[in-house]
Amino acid sequence: DSGVTQTPKHLITATGQRVTLRCSPRSGDLSVYWYQQSLDQGLQFLIQYYNGEERAKGNILERFSAQQFPDLHSELNLSSLELGDSALYFCASSVAVTGELFFGEGSRLTVL
Amino acid sequence: AQKVTQAQTEISVVEKEDVTLDCVYETRDTTYYLFWYKQPPSGELVFLIRRNSFDEQNEISGRYSWNFQKSTSSFNFTITASQVVDSAVYFCALSEADQGAQKLVFGQGTRLTINP
Nearest to A106 among B43, B103, B107 (CB): B43
CB B102 within 8 A of CB A48: yes
Q: Do A103 and B103 touch (CB under 8 A)?
A: no
pLDDT digits (tens, 9 = 90+) for B2-24: 999 999 999 999 999 999 999 99
Tens of pLDDT, residues B27-36: 998 889 999 9
Nearest CB to B44 within list A31, A33, A103: A103
Find the helix or strand (DSSP H, E) in which B60 lies.
strand B59-61
Is A105 in Cβ contact with B43 (below 8 Å)? Answer: yes
Contacts of A107 in chain B (CB under 8 A): none
Kind of pairing, strands A87-94 and A31-38?
Answer: antiparallel
A49 inside 8 A of chain B by CB: no
Q: Touching check for B71 and chain A: CB below 8 Å?
A: no
- Residue length of chain B: 116
- CB of B92 within 8 Å of any CB in chain A? no
To the nearest whole angstrom, how far is the Cα of A101 from the nearest Cα of chain B?
Answer: 7
pLDDT of residue A85: 97
Mean pLDDT of B82-88: 97
Q: Which residues of A touch B50 (CB under 8 A)?
A: 99-100
User: At residue A106, what is the residue type?
Assistant: G
How many Cβ atoms from other residues are within 10 Å of residue A107's Cβ?
Answer: 22
Q: How far, rounded to the nearest angstrom, does the alpha carbon of residue A59 sit from its chain's CA centroid? A: 13
Stretch B56-82: mean pLDDT: 94
Residue A97 to residue B99, Cβ atoms within 8 A: yes
- Span A27-43, pLDDT tens digits: 999 999 999 999 888 99
Percent composition of chain B: helix, strand, coil (DSSP 3-state, to 5): 5, 55, 40
Alpha carbon B28 to its chain centroid, in Å, reads 20
pLDDT above 90 (res B110)? yes
Q: Which is nearest to B83 in space by CA: B109, B111, B63?
A: B63
* pLDDT of B57: 86
3-state secondary structure chain A: CCCCEEECCEEEECCCCCEEEEEECCCCCCEEEEEEEECCCEEEEEEEEECCEEEEECCCCCCEEEEECCCCCEEEEECCCCHHHCEEEEEEEECCCCCCCEECCCEEEEEC
Of the candidates B99, B91, B92, which has an alpha carbon nearest to the alpha carbon of residue B73? B92
Q: How far is B104 from chain A (nearest CA, A)?
A: 7
Q: What is the pLDDT of residues A48-101, one digit of tens each?
A: 999 999 999 998 999 999 999 999 999 999 999 999 999 999 999 998 877 889
In Å, how far is B42's CA from the nearest CA of chain A?
8
The confidence score (pLDDT) of residue B47 equals 93
